[in-house]
Amino acid sequence: MHAGNAWIPALFCMTAPPLLAQDQPARALSLVKEAVAFAKSHGKEALLREINHGQGRFHVKSGEELYIFVYDLQGVCQAIGFQSQMVGTNRIGLRDPDGKHFLRDMIAVARAKGSGWVDYKYPHPATGKVRTKVSYVELMEGWIIGCGAYK
């Protein structure tokens, strides 16, 4: 290969990189911001329909394992991207394998700061294996809207 074509392999390697694990929290935060904006422009009920729809825009993202969840401040699930059977269920007592009340922590962070991050352990939707997860939550009109990323 002569010097004039040396850039071709480098350009090929730079296009469409796979989503790296460290990018997941940033993508989770972005998805929450998108969901909040959607609710503000289309209404809260439209957001719930979109999340709870099996193939809605806030459902599990293929290859990313990201989905939006919504809880009221008492811990009742309003919407969740991959466990729609949980809608209407009060999950305030949820604990991870280490005993952490992560939903209570999410509600507390949202109430205290308006938004923030919570670490906990949760089953991966594709494998069912418990993994470490970090979720970003944001308070909006009596709800927490969140999205988690597996570490």
Q: Which of 83, 66, 79 is nearest to 148 (CA)?
A: 66
Range ranked top by mean pLDDT from 8-17, 25-34, 76-85: 25-34
Give the full edge-to-edge strand order of the sheet including 68-72: 77-80, 68-72, 143-150, 130-140, 115-123
Beta bridge partners of 69: 80, 146
Answer with the residue of higher pLDDT: 106 or 2: 106
Q: pTM to 2 decimals?
A: 0.82
Tell me how far apart the alpha carbons of residues 65 and 76 are, in angstroms, rounded to a whole number: 22
Q: Give every CB contact of residue 59 below 8 A, 6+ residues apart in sequence.
A: 51, 53, 67, 81, 82
Residue 15 confidence (pLDDT) above 80 = no
Chain-centroid distance, C-alpha 3: 46
Residue 13 confidence (pLDDT) above 70 = no
Q: For 91-100, write each residue's pLDDT tens digit.
A: 999 999 999 9
**Domain 20-150 maps to which CATH number in 3.10.580.10, 3.30.450.20, 1.20.140.10, 3.40.50.620?**
3.30.450.20
Answer with the residue of higher pLDDT: 89 or 57: 89
Q: Residue 123's pLDDT is what?
A: 87
Q: Is 137 exposed, middle or buried (0-12, 13-18, 19+ CB in 10 A)?
A: buried
Tell me how far apart the alpha carbons of residues 113 and 89 are, in angstroms, rounded to a whole number: 25
Q: Residue 124's pLDDT is what?
A: 82
CB 69 within 8 A of CB 57: no
**Domain chopping of the chain, boundaries:** 20-150
